[in-house]
Amino acid sequence: MEANFDPARDYPLGSRRPDLVFTPGGLALSDVTLDALREGRLEPADIRATAETLVLQAEVARAAGREPLAESLERAAELATVPEELLLAVYTALRPRRATAAQLDEWAVRLESHGAHTTARFVREAAAAYAERGLLADA
């Protein structure tokens, strides 16, 4: 947790604690402007949330008694650094009859290698549920 961060007092982060909000490339929130976009100083990644910001938002949600939202934001933080190609491949593999249990486990291992342990657990839970319902691909 950031020093002197109070999730109840510091929300919304963008206006009360912009010093804590940065782009994945390290730009300050104040540098993310329409003018910067028009001038070509922003990359697509500059409008993405960072894992650190999502964790802070989770703390805000938890302080407000919104535990399910806090957990969702923590999962989002976990996925913030996972390559988009991997996320799209896992999404495709999770569609019914697209992957075997072994393939889903391989995707879970890849997610874990990027620190996405909660999401990997969800993929394994999906594999078990698909097995029960006959929704796995034929081996």
**CA 112, CA 107: separation in Å to the nearest integer?**
9
pLDDT tens-digit map of 47-89: 889 999 999 999 999 999 999 999 999 999 999 999 999 999 9
Residue 3 scores a pLDDT above 80: no
Nearest of 103, 93, 73 to residue 13 by alpha carbon:
73
Global pTM reads 0.82
Give percent of the chain with pLDDT exceeding 90.
88
Residue 7 region by backbone torsions, left for phi larger than 0, else alpha for psi between -120 and 50, else beta: alpha
What does the block give as tokens for 91?
Answer: 């999404």
| Segment 11-34 mean pLDDT | 92
- Strand, helix or coil at 12? coil
Mean pLDDT of the chain: 94
- Strand, helix or coil at 32? coil
HSE (CB half, 13 Å, CA atoms) of 130? 23
Which domains, and CATH codes, for the chain? 1-79 (no CATH), 82-139 (1.10.1510.20)
Residue 1 scores a pLDDT above 80: no
